[in-house]
């Protein structure tokens, strides 16, 4: 390969490094990259390996986290009313659990700033001076914007309704969802369809009691919906409780007399009795 081609390859790779890192706020890294790029045009391939090595050394040394920082930020953060972001450390490196992804590894930008690819956001871990609690803060994309303390760190014993559901603590889950509804009746976490889907998932997996409890929560949150009673009637049918199945199918019909499915099920169950 000719020297000219080598120089072109080096230049392309160097531009990629700069375009990747230039959005971050680490001044030292920017200076290192810009300095190396300015001399790449006259470098030979053997020197380019030194450039890559410097990047690796800087990256590795920059990943280490202070023990006090680790203790301060480890925990669960309230992402929304029924969802959390968990922060933990493995071999002094920060990881996150979010929306089913268990090993999210943010890129460390500086001592207190990380880039989370899965969120497409830079985040910082800051103490809110108003309440002295820890928060995950989304770094404003506009330098003139003020800081918003987005995601509060939860206390060790503090749980969201979804976590109570997971632990089969349905009464506490219901309390949590009712509190969310009282605060914001349009909150997505109390969406009727989502809770109904969750109940049917339990029903398909033959977790009948869990399905019944989830449908009961949906009934409590949406008492004027014909569909929630219809679903609860189906769960009671599968559990073998014909009487409660008929009661709930009739409640569904009282709200929607055109529910042909509920009519058929009532007629079928009454014949059994």
**What confidence tens digit (pLDDT) does each residue in 113-141 have?**
999 999 999 999 999 999 999 999 999 98
Give ∠ CA 246-250-253 in degrees, rounded to 5: 145
CB 270 within 8 A of CB 246: yes
Position 48 scores a pLDDT of 55
Q: How far is CA 85 from CA 38, 76, 166, in A?
A: 41, 6, 16
**What confidence tens digit (pLDDT) does each residue in 50-78 have?**
555 555 554 555 567 889 999 999 999 99
Rounded Cα distance between 11 and 31, Å, is 17
CB 1 within 8 A of CB 45: no
Average pLDDT, the chain: 85
Query: Which tokens sit at 160?
Result: 């969201």
Rounded Cα distance between 133 and 182, Å, is 25
CB atoms closer than 10 angstroms to residue 129: 8
Give ∠ CA 221-225-231 in degrees, rounded to 5: 90
């Amino acid at each position: 390969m000719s020297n000219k081609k080598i120089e072109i390859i080096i230049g392309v790779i160097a531009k990629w490094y700069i375009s990747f890192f230039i959005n971050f706020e680490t001044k030292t890294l920017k200076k290192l990259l810009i300095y190396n790029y300015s001399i790449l045009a006259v470098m030979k391939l053997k020197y380019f390996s030194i450039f890559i090595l410097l990047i690796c050394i800087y990256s590795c040394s920059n990943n280490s986290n202070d023990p006090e920082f680790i203790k301060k930020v480890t925990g669960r953060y309230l992402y929304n009313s029924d969802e959390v972001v968990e922060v933990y450390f493995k071999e002094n490196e920060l990881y996150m659990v979010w929306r089913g992804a268990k090993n999210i590894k943010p890129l460390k930008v500086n001592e207190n700033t990380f880039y989370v690819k899965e969120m497409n956001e830079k985040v910082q871990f800051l103490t809110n001076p108003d309440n002295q609690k820890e928060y995950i803060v989304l770094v404003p994309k506009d330098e003139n914007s003020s800081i918003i303390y987005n995601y509060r760190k939860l206390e060790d014993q503090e749980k969201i309704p979804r976590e109570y559901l997971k632990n089969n603590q349905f009464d506490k889950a219901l309390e949590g969802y009712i509190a969310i509804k009282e605060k914001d009746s349009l909150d997505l976490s109390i969406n009727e369809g989502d809770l109904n889907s969750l109940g049917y998932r339990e029903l398909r997996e033959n977790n009948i009691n869990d399905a019944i409890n989830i449908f009961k929560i949906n009934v409590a949150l949406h008492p004027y919906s014909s569909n929630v009673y219809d679903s609860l009637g189906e769960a009671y049918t599968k559990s073998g409780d014909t009487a409660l199945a008929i009661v709930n199918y009739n409640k569904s019909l009282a709200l929607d007399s055109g529910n042909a499915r509920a009519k058929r099920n009532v007629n079928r169950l009454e014949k059994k009795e």
